[in-house]
Chain A
Amino acid sequence: MGHRAGVISSADRDAENSWPSSAHEARRFILNQLPGSAPVEGISAEADRYGRAEEPAVLVEPSLIEGSSFTAIRFDSDSQRTESAFAGFLDGTQQIRIVNQLDGIPIVWATVSAAIRVRVDKRLTTWPARRPSVAGRYYVPFRYLDSLTDEFRNDRRVVDTAKANESGKIPSRHPAALMESALQRIQRDRESLELDLAESWCRSESRPLYIDGSITGSAIASDSENVVGVIKTHRRLYADGDAFRVLVRLRAGERSSVFRVDRRKGFPVASWYVRVRETAGHDSLFGLLRIEAAETHDLSSRADEISRWIAAEGAPLALPDSRWDKMAYGIRDTEEFLRAIS
């Protein structure tokens, strides 16, 4: 038993040997690539620091697929405890550093990683079928740096952060705009690693997987009964109007009606809110999770069952993580694991 730490990168091993594996190496690498650039001794910025900070906080009318009104539904039974059926936990992390700057243009080095930890005899260990994915990449606005070599530009581990987005908009030279663009790319890369792992799970496992985050980005995951996405942050609340009052009054052991999430950029899934801890003395979003799962014909009973599993993951607490009210211990373990290897 114990931790299994075998890790391989997504890149070739040979190439990895010359590729930076730490921020310090990344800084030196750029000094060679971009003579005249200045090293930056910045602090590490983790995913949640930047997170989806730019995503607007909005209330959205829920598109109900269970019942006709958004109501609170008790899912647990005091007489019997339910054991969680989750066999694994998937999470990803990102470590971001501005390592150099040239004429005010930030050069970002980020390590994104993702892993699945499976539970065997109540202890968590790395999923043996797919080792964790770790990738270190530069995020550089090509158009604002003339002195970049072709070799560097063409390296698949260097990402251009000044490309036009879907709407044709190009980020300005403003460092904050360039930084925001880099963050979006980094986040996309991390989600890509996570969903890649999630799809591997769907193809090879028949047991449920707890994913920290949305599953709408993957057609396979959003359609699989073996994965459940758990969202802890609520910039976008599916509870406009009367539903909002119902949502903030949910008590521990209650869930909301199931609604459909079908965003333009993702695949449709069934979703509902679950309150896993009482809010007394806390804000209204304390202990509130939004669950995403594939739509099935027995939605109500499926939502109850998954909600009970989620509630069962409430012990042990994920303390000392500040998000302990919403975080499952398995996710904390996966984050700690990724922090140790990346």
Chain B
Amino acid sequence: MSEALGRVVATERKPNTPHEFHFWTSLDCPVGIGTIVRVDGAHPVEGQIPHIYGVVVEGFSYTDLQSPMHDVLSHDGRPSNATFAATDRAEIRLYTAAVLRQIPEEPLQPVPMGEVFLAEEADVATALRMDGYLKDGSNTGIPVGVYRAGATDSVIYLDADFLLGPEAAHLNISGMSGLATKTSAVEWLLASLFAHFPAGKGSVAAVCFNVKGPDLCFLDQPGKLEDRDREMYEKMGVKPGPFENVTYFAPYTAKGFGLNTLRSNEALLHNVKPLTWGLREVLQYAEVLLNKDDIDAKADALIDFITERVVDRRFEQDHYLTRDHTVQSFGDLENWFRDLLRGMEKANAESWRTHHIATIRKVRNRLSNISTRCAGLVTDTGDVSDLPFGSFEDRAVYVVDVATLEEDAQDLIFARIVSKLREHLERRDLGVKHLVVFVDELNKYAPGDGQETYVRKMLLDIAERGRYLGLVLFSAQQFRSQVHRRVVGNSGTALYGRMDGDELATPGYSVLSPATRTKLATLEKGQLMVRHPHFTQPIFVRFPRPAVMQGRDGAERYPQATDVTLEHALYRSLRTVDPAVSLAWVNDLVALYDEGELLAARNAALVAKPSNVRGFFESRLRKKIPAQPAFSGGLTPRESISARSLPDDDPYGP
């Protein structure tokens, strides 16, 4: 057994309670805020010596001075004279610890006097109740980091049942920006989750929304690790490598040539897929893009009518419509609106099927505008390139890059993808049993104040009901206090990196001791404070640098592709499906067809991934006979150009 490092003390003014105790140590003792200690009681309770585990939450130091003036007098008012003092004043290190666990747990008594020891690895497991889920037959521990104090180096595990459900779920991370906390912690935790999630609990995948910069754009590329990081990976049983199965999704740019992502370097395009939706996909979530003024009851009724009765079915001509319509794209819808309104105007009609002409004009205006506002994501043609709903793979990461999109498009993407994930999980046909959705910048997407938005409603829905479906929210933000309380409140696990002083002054942090708050404000990179349902007090851990390329490094190593011509855009994207595609072949087609037609054919080819890419691509284009040079028959170029030979008596002949 190790040597005692302290003794419990209690006075009438500062008594011990069942949840808190005080102890003193020698001056050189390796105890600090966050250190886990064990108290061995001196007297048995019901035949058992009590062991109390606690975490240090406050520290005090003082001498036998009663007034600072006495020290001034001691040294004649000169601080430098203090070095000549023969003796240092008696000094104390007094700590306050919050109780993590008492054994036996009943009867729950005030902490007794006793010796204090630094918690060893087994003590840490007991103190944090990890012994319950690390034992054989349970084994649902997911390493979150390493707790270090003195010679103790213990892996801290989260309980998968409380991280991914069904007992509790969701994870929230707070921390200042730019200190490699939030994104790094999520990358590390996902790697740990994939490595340790018990096989018996089913498959797990992650959908990450990349909302800023290149943060999540290089998850499949190896990052720089130091030896101490590798040691931590080894200790925690996680392979120090990038994610093996990552797929990126990004909409096209407004021009439609290339993908709107920072991961546009040609060397990395093999697993970058376009994210494009047509009319049907968007119309279901029109609410996301239309504000409350847009969607009054009348407009809402007309949108429902269009969704149910017009889209994707044959709509026969009536006394206003001049022809039958099959609406499958925004283009088709625009034609339908135009035909209908022209017919109504010609007949001077005020309503059609109870819908007033003004409402029809308004809805036409708003819906038509969507394809403009979300250009690159929404296609006029109705081509759909989507996440592989139904065939999600185990331990796969799907990154949806919305970093450079307009806010409307971001909202639409969030709403639709999360809704689809939820639908599939409800039907148990997503392809995986558990899905982690990572959303950063909750301050923006789920603020505590401001008007209700569709995205916030969706995030609240996940937070409150997702765990029953296997839909788990990993969220992050800078200011936890400004996120909707029900989102953070439903997060069973919370991680905190270095925090801003102003943020720590908000009421949400008042449960932490002043010393713990001070420590939070000064955390180093790679340090986290963890709150988890099994831990009765927050615990400080270190986690390794994620083994993936950091966004900034990736952006330097794989610079974003510059604006390309239509020819190069087609060539590059089609080559990801068929490397045999040549630039000459693309050039020939570009010479013949207009831009829209070519991009539509490309989009269709990327979705269909046909075995004969060139044949498929050409089949999507209208038939055109390219100009062919006339058979020359061995004549000179001049001769070959002539339609017929000159008359022999041509006075202007050669």
Please tell me which stretch of B86-94, B155-163, B507-515, B540-548 contacts chain A, meaning at least 4 of its Cβ atoms lie within 8 angstroms of it: B86-94
Contact with B along A98-128 (1 / 0, CB 8 A): 0000000000000000000001001110000
Report the bound CA distance from A86 to B86 in whole Å.
9
Cβ-based interface call for B630 (8 A): no
Chain A positions within 8 Å of B, measured between CB atoms, are 1-3, 81, 83-84, 86, 119, 122-124, 312-313, 315-317, 319-320, 329-330, 332-333, 336
Interface mask (B61-91 → A, CB under 8 Å = 1, otherwise 0):
0001111001101110000011011111110
Question: Considering only CB atoms, which chain B residue lies closest to A121 in the complex?
Answer: B88
Establish whether residues A329 and B70, one from each chain, have CB atoms under 8 Å apart when the complex forms: no
Interface pairs (14), CB distance under 8 Å: A2-B25, A122-B86, A124-B87, A315-B85, A315-B86, A316-B88, A317-B70, A317-B74, A319-B66, A319-B70, A319-B74, A320-B70, A329-B89, A333-B64
CB contact list, B75-120 vs A, under 8 A = 75, 81-82, 84-90
The 9 closest A-B pairs by CB, nearest first: A2-B26, A316-B74, A319-B70, A84-B86, A317-B74, A315-B85, A122-B88, A320-B66, A315-B74
B226 interface hit (Cβ, 8 Å): no
A316/B66 in contact, CB under 8 A: no
Contact B87–A329 (Cβ < 8 Å): yes
Give A138 to B81 CA distance when docked, in angstroms. Answer: 47
B26 close to A330 (CB less than 8 A):
no
Which B residues are in CB contact (< 8 Å) with A316? 70-71, 74-75, 85, 87-89
In the assembled complex, the Cα of A193 lies from the Cα of B50 at a distance in Å of 39
B290 CB–A CB distance under 8 Å: no
B318: interface (CB < 8 Å): no
Rounded to whole angstroms, the CA-CA distance of A320 and B28 in the bound complex is 27
Judged by a CB distance under 8 angstroms, whether B45 is at the interface is no
- Closest CB-CB distance, A209 to chain B, in whole Å? 14
Residue of chain B at shortest CB distance from A85: B86
- B66 contacts across to A, CB distance below 8 A: 319-320
Determine whether B301 belongs to the interface, using a CB cutoff of 8 Å to chain A: no
Interface flag for B42 (CB, 8 Å): no
Q: Are B26 and A1 in contact (CB under 8 A)?
A: yes
Assess whether B349 is interfacial by the CB under 8 Å rule: no
Residues of B25-70 at the interface with A, using a CB-CB cut-off of 8 Å, are 25-28, 64-67, 70
Decide: B86 and A319 in contact? CB cutoff 8 A. Answer: no
Which of B25, B26, B87, B89 has most A Cβ within 10 Å? B87
Contacting residues, chain B, for A330 (C-beta < 8 A): 86-87
Task: Name B66's closest neighbour in chain A (CB-CB).
Answer: A320
For A317, the chain B residues whose CB sits under 8 A away are: 70, 73-74
Q: Which residues of A contact B81 (CB under 8 A)?
A: 315
| Contacting pair B86 A83 (CB below 8 A) | yes
Whether the pair A124, B90 counts as a contact (CB closer than 8 A) is yes
A336 to B90, CA, bound (A): 10
Cα–Cα distance between A122 and B84 once the two chains are bound (Å): 10
A contact patch SS? loop
Are B86 and A313 in touch, CB under 8 angstroms? yes
Cβ–Cβ < 8 Å partners of B88 in chain A: 122-123, 316
Q: How far is the CA of A124 from the CA of B90 in the complex (A)?
A: 8
The chain A residue sitting closest to B90, CB to CB, is: A333
The residue from A81, A86, A124 contacting B84, defined by CB atoms under 8 A apart: A81
CB 8 Å contact bits of B543-576 with A (1 = contact, 0 = none): 0000000000000000000000000000000000
Query: How many residues of B sit at the interface, in one of the four size bands?
Result: 20 to 34
Inter-chain CA distance A330–B67, complex, in Å, is 19
Additional A-B contact list (20), CB under 8 Å, known A122-B88, A315-B74, A319-B70: A1-B28, A2-B27, A119-B86, A122-B87, A123-B90, A124-B87, A312-B84, A313-B86, A315-B75, A315-B84, A316-B85, A317-B70, A317-B73, A317-B74, A319-B65, A319-B66, A319-B73, A332-B64, A333-B64, A336-B90
Which A residues touch B65, using CB under 8 A?
A: 319
Which residues of chain A have C-beta atoms less than 8 A from B85's C-beta? 122, 315-316
Q: B7 — nearest CB in chain A belongs to which residue? A: A5
A119 near B87: Cβ-Cβ < 8 Å: yes
Q: Which residue from chain B places its CB closest to the CB of A123 in the assembled complex? A: B88
Q: How far is the CB of A289 from chain B (nearest CB, A)?
A: 15
Considering the chains assembled together, what is the distance between the CA atoms of A89 and B27 in angstroms?
21
Whether A336 lies near B64 (C-beta < 8 A) is yes
A1 to B93, CA, bound (A): 11
Interface hub of A3, A119, A124, A317 (most chain B Cβ within 10 A):
A317
Which A residues lie within 8 Å of B75 (CB)?
315-316
Cβ of A78 to closest chain B Cβ, rounded Å: 13
Most buried by A among B73, B74, B82: B74
Report how far A320 CA is from B64 CA in the complex, Å: 9
What's the least CB distance linking B91 to chain A, in Å? 8
The listed residue with most B CB atoms (<10 A of its CB), out of A320, A329, A332, is A329
- Within the complex, the shortest CB–CB distance from B116 to chain A, in Å, comes to 13
- Report Cα–Cα, A162/B26, bound state, in Å: 48
**Bound CA–CA A123/B26 (angstroms):** 12
Closest CB-CB distance, A123 to chain B, in whole Å? 5
Please name all residues of chain B whose beta carbon is closer than 8 Å to the beta carbon of A83 when the two chains form the complex: 84, 86
Q: Give the interface centre of A81, A86, A123 by most chain B CB atoms within 10 Å.
A: A123
Q: How far is the CA of A322 from the CA of B512 in the complex (A)?
A: 42
Q: Report how far A244 CA is from B561 CA in the complex, Å.
A: 100
Assembly CA distance A336 to B70 (angstroms): 17
Contact in complex: B74, A312 (CB < 8 Å): no
User: Is the Cβ of A333 less than 8 Å from the Cβ of B87?
Assistant: yes
A249 smallest CB distance to B (angstroms): 23
CA distance A119 to B75 in the complex (A): 20
**B26 nearest CB neighbor, chain A only:** A2
For A122, what are the chain B residues with a Cβ–Cβ distance below 8 Å? Answer: 85-88
A123 touches B86 (CB 8 A): no
Residues of B within 8 A of A123 (CB): 27, 87-88, 90
Nearest CB on A from B439, distance (A): 51
Shortest CB-to-CB span from A11 to chain B, Å, is 23
Task: Kindly state the separation between the CA atoms of A83 and B90 in the bound complex, as whole angstroms.
Answer: 19
Residues on A with C-beta less than 8 A from B86 are: 83-84, 86, 119, 122, 312-313, 315, 329-330
For A122, give the chain B residue with the smallest CB separation: B88
Return B87 CB to nearest CB of chain A, in Å.
Answer: 5
CA gap between A315 and B70 in the complex, in Å: 10
- Report the bound CA distance from A312 to B83 in whole Å: 12
Q: How far in angstroms is the closest Cβ of chain B from A127?
A: 15
Query: Closest Cβ of chain A: how far from B24's Cβ, in Å?
Result: 8
Least Cβ–Cβ distance between B67 and chain A, in angstroms: 8
Considering the chains assembled together, what is the distance between the CA atoms of A176 and B28 in angstroms? 51
> Once bound together, how far apart are the Cα atoms of A313 and B89, in whole Å?
12
Complex interface: chain A residues within 8 A of B71 (CB): 316
Which residues from chain B contact A124 at a C-beta distance below 8 Å? 87, 90
* A contact residues around B74 at 8 Å (CB): 315-317, 319
A43 to chain B, nearest CB (A): 20
- Closest CB-CB distance, B437 to chain A, in whole Å? 53
> Which residues of A are found within 8 Å of B89, using beta-carbon distances?
316, 329
Q: In chain A, what residue has the closest Cβ to B71?
A: A316
Bound state CA distance, A316 and B82, in angstroms? 8
Q: How far, in whole Å, are A122 and B88 apart by their CA atoms in the complex? A: 5
Nearest CB on B from A35, distance (A): 34
With A and B bound together, what is the CA distance between A330 and B26 in angstroms?
19
Which A residues are CB-close (under 8 A) to B64?
A: 332-333, 336
Min Cβ gap B461→A in Å is 57
Among residues of A, the one whose C-beta sits closest to the C-beta of B24 is A2
The answer for the CA separation of A332 and B65 in the assembled complex, in Å, is 12
A323 to chain B, nearest CB (A): 14
Distance (whole angstroms) from the CB of A287 to the closest CB of chain B: 13
Distance (whole angstroms) from the CB of B74 to the closest CB of chain A: 4
Contact with A along B519-545 (1 / 0, CB 8 A): 000000000000000000000000000
Within the assembled complex, what's the spacing in Å between the Cα atoms of A123 and B84? 14
Q: When the two chains form the complex, which single residue of A1, A119, A319, A332 contacts B27, counting CB atoms closer than 8 Å?
A: A1
Alpha-carbon distance between A329 and B91 when the two chains are bound, in angstroms:
13
Residues in chain B near residue A84, CB distance under 8 A: 86
Residues of B within 8 A of A312 (CB): 84, 86
